[in-house]
Amino acid sequence: MGVVGGGLLGLDIAYELAQQGVKVSVYEADKRLGGLAGSTKIGGVAVDRYYHAVTTTDDKVVSLAESLGLSIRWRPLGVGFYHDGQRCSMSTPVEVLRFPGLRLDDKARLAAFVLACGRIKDAEALDEQPIEAWARKLSGNRLWERLWAPLLDSKFDGHYDDLPATYLWSRMRRTAGTRSKGGREVMGAIEGGYQALVDRLADRIRSLGGEVHTSTPVRHIPASASGAAIGVVTDAGLQAHDTVVTTQLRPNLKGLLADELEHALGPDPLRYMGIVCLVARVKQSVSPYYAINITDRRVPITSVVETTHAVDPEWVDGHLIYVPKYVRSTNPILERSSEDITDEFLGHVQTLFPDFRREDVIASQVARTTVAEPVHVASVANRIPPVFAAPGLAVASSARVHPNIVHGQAIAGVAEHVAGEVLARLTTDNTQQRSAA
Ligand SMILES: Cc1cc2nc3c(=O)[nH]c(=O)nc-3n(C[C@H](O)[C@H](O)[C@H](O)COP(=O)(O)OP(=O)(O)OC[C@H]3O[C@@H](n4cnc5c(N)ncnc54)[C@H](O)[C@@H]3O)c2cc1C
C-alpha cells in the first residue's frame, strides 16, 4: 500500500496499517517528515515551524507520544485578549468576569452559551445553520458584535459569513474541556515537538517492515483502463500498489491524479485558508499569555502565541513567539517578502506588548502556505465523501476531521477510520481472490 504524504496523517495511517501486518510505503516530498507539524531551524535551533501544543483532551496523541517513549510537559496557561486598545487576561472564569469589553449580562450569556455548546451532542443540524444567526440567537447581539465577529474576522481573514454554527460549537467544546481545577487552560508540549513524534513513528513503521521515503515527491497517480489506481509515479518511475492513500487537501491533489480518478472525486464543496506565520526566538518573555485573542481589528494578525509557556525555554535556548495571520489563499501578503512581513508583524507585537524590544530578537523566520486548513461552509452536499473514491484510491485529509476543528487528536481519529476502511477493503479483496481461485 502506498501513502502519499509524510505528515501526521500519512504516518498515523501507515503506522495503524503496519501494525496489522500491511506492507506500507510512505512517500514524502519534503526532505523532512512532519508537514505542517514539522520543525524548522532558526539561529541553529530546531523549533516548530508553526506553534503546536497538546491539550488534556488529546488522549490519542498523548498515548501515542507516550507509547513512542516521548514525555509531555504540562502547564496551566494564560490566555489574553486585546480589546479596544486594551490588553487583559481571560485565563480564569474570575478574569472573564472582570473583562472590561463586556457588560455583566453579556458575561452571563457567555457562560450560558459555553454550557449550551457542551450540551449539544449532535452536530449535523448545526451544519445547516449559518453561524451569525445561530450565535446571535444563543448568545445575543452584543456578544456577536464585540466578541465572535472580530474573532472570526481574525481567524478567517474577514470571510466567515458562509460558516456553519458547527465551527463555533466545536471550538467552544475543545477549549472548555481543557481546564484545570483553578479554571486555567492546561496545555502540554511534547519533548522535541511533533517532529520527534513523527520521526519516531517513521522509525516504528520501518521496524515493522514498512518504507518511509523522504525527498520523494509523488508526481502522478495513474489509473488502469478500468479506472482503478495502480500505484504512484515518483522520479524513480512507477511504484505499483494495490491501494494508494492520499493525505493532501484537494487543492494540493490538483494535477496529481489521473483524469478518471480526479473525475471520481467530484466537485470540492470546501474552501481553504492559508497562513503567514512569523516565528522569533527572543531573549526574554514577551507575553504573559500562551496566546492572545485580538478583537481590536486595528491589529490585523490572528494572535501572538508564546509557546515557551508550554515548551521548556531550555529546549529552544530562549523564548519563542509566533505571530500568525490566517489568510485567504488569494491574499497578496502571501507574496510579500519575509523582511517586510517580519517588520510589520513585530510592529504589531510592540502594539500589544509595549515592553517588547526588537533588539531582543535572536533569530526569526517567516513560514507561509496557501493551503493550511479546510473551511467547511454551511449546507453543502458531499461534505465528507466515502474514503474510497475509486477502486484502489483512498482519499484521506484533514478535511475529514469535521465536525471537529483541525488538530492532531482529530487527525488521529481520521487515521483510525481510514486505516479501518483500507483494512476492510484489503480483507474483502483477499477473500474474493481466494474464492475465485
Ligand atoms: C498554524 C497551525 C497551528 C497548529 N497548531 C496545532 C496545535 O497546537 N495542536 C494540534 O494538535 N494541531 C495543530 N495544528 C494542526 C496540525 O498541524 C495538523 O492537523 C496536521 O499537521 C495535519 O497533518 P496532515 O498530515 O493532514 O497534513 P500536512 O501536515 O499538510 O501533511 C501533508 C504532507 O504531504 C506532503 N506532500 C504534499 N504533496 C506531496 C506529493 N505530491 N508527494 C509526496 N508528499 C507530498 C507534504 O509535504 C506534507 O508533508 C496546527 C496547524 C497550523 C497550520
The answer to whether the CB of 50 is under 6 A from ligand 1 is yes
Residue located nearest, by CA, to atom 23 of ligand 1? 8
Shared-domain flag, residues 84 and 188: yes
The answer to whether the CB of 212 is under 6 A from ligand 1 is no
Residue that terminates a domain, selected from 325, 360, 375: 375
Helices 166-176 and 131-139, axial angle in degrees (round to 10) = 50
Q: Which domain holds residue 369?
A: 38-58+72-91+184-192+271-375
| Residue among 52, 302, 400 to mutate when testing ligand 1 (max atoms within 8 A of CB) | 52
The answer to whether the CB of 43 is under 6 A from ligand 1 is no
Query: What string of pLDDT tens digits covers the 437 residues of the chain?
Result: 999 999 999 999 999 999 999 999 999 999 999 999 999 999 999 999 999 999 999 999 999 999 999 999 999 999 999 999 999 998 887 888 788 888 999 989 998 998 899 899 888 889 999 999 999 999 999 999 999 999 999 999 999 999 999 999 999 888 776 766 677 889 999 999 999 999 999 999 999 999 999 999 999 999 999 999 999 999 999 999 999 999 999 999 999 999 999 999 999 999 999 999 999 999 999 999 999 999 999 999 999 999 999 999 999 999 999 999 999 999 999 999 999 999 999 999 999 999 999 999 999 999 999 999 999 999 888 889 999 999 999 999 999 999 999 999 999 999 999 999 999 998 888 777 777 77
Residue located nearest, by CA, to atom 48 of ligand 1? 35
The answer to whether the CB of 113 is under 6 A from ligand 1 is no
Residue that terminates a domain, selected from 328, 360, 375: 375
Shared-domain flag, residues 264 and 385: yes
Please answer whether residues 58 and 270 qualify as being in contact, where contact means their C-beta atoms are separated by less than 8 angstroms: no
Please answer whether residues 280 and 361 qualify as being in contact, where contact means their C-beta atoms are separated by less than 8 angstroms: yes
Shared-domain flag, residues 159 and 305: no
The 3-state DSSP class for residue 393 equals: strand
State how far the Cα of 217 lies from the Cα of 161, in Å rounded to an integer. 37
The answer to whether the CB of 27 is under 6 A from ligand 1 is yes
- Please give the distance, rounded to the nearest whole angstrom, from the Cα atom of residue 178 to the centre of ligand 1: 23
Q: Give the number of C-alpha atoms closer than 13 A to the C-alpha of residue 58, restricted to the C-beta side.
A: 25
Shared-domain flag, residues 304 and 188: yes
**If you search the block for the grid coordinates 481510514, which residue do you land on?**
418
Please answer whether residues 68 and 88 qualify as being in contact, where contact means their C-beta atoms are separated by less than 8 angstroms: no
Handedness of CA 347, 349, 352, 356 (dihedral sign): negative
State how far the Cα of 291 lies from the Cα of 350, in Å rounded to an integer. 15
The answer to whether the CB of 29 is under 6 A from ligand 1 is yes
Shared-domain flag, residues 251 and 275: no
Report the nearest atom of ligand 1 relative to the CA of 5: 34
Nearest one of 422, 24, 412, 421 to 202, comparing CA atoms? 24
Q: How many domains does the chain have?
A: 3
In a domain? residue 63: no
The answer to whether the CB of 275 is under 6 A from ligand 1 is yes
- Please give the distance, rounded to the nearest whole angstrom, from the Cα atom of residue 248 to the centre of ligand 1: 9
- Please give the distance, rounded to the nearest whole angstrom, from the Cα atom of residue 306 to the centre of ligand 1: 20
Give start and end residues of each alpha helix (H) in 232-337.
Answer: 250-253, 259-265, 313-316
In a domain? residue 64: no
Nearest one of 419, 376, 385, 421 to 264, comparing CA atoms? 385
Please answer whether residues 342 and 278 qualify as being in contact, where contact means their C-beta atoms are separated by less than 8 angstroms: yes
Neighbouring C-beta atoms of residue 424, cutoff 10 Å: 12
Shared-domain flag, residues 279 and 362: yes
State how far the Cα of 369 lies from the Cα of 385, in Å rounded to an integer. 25
The answer to whether the CB of 247 is under 6 A from ligand 1 is yes
| Residue among 406, 409, 416, 418 to mutate when testing ligand 1 (max atoms within 8 A of CB) | 406
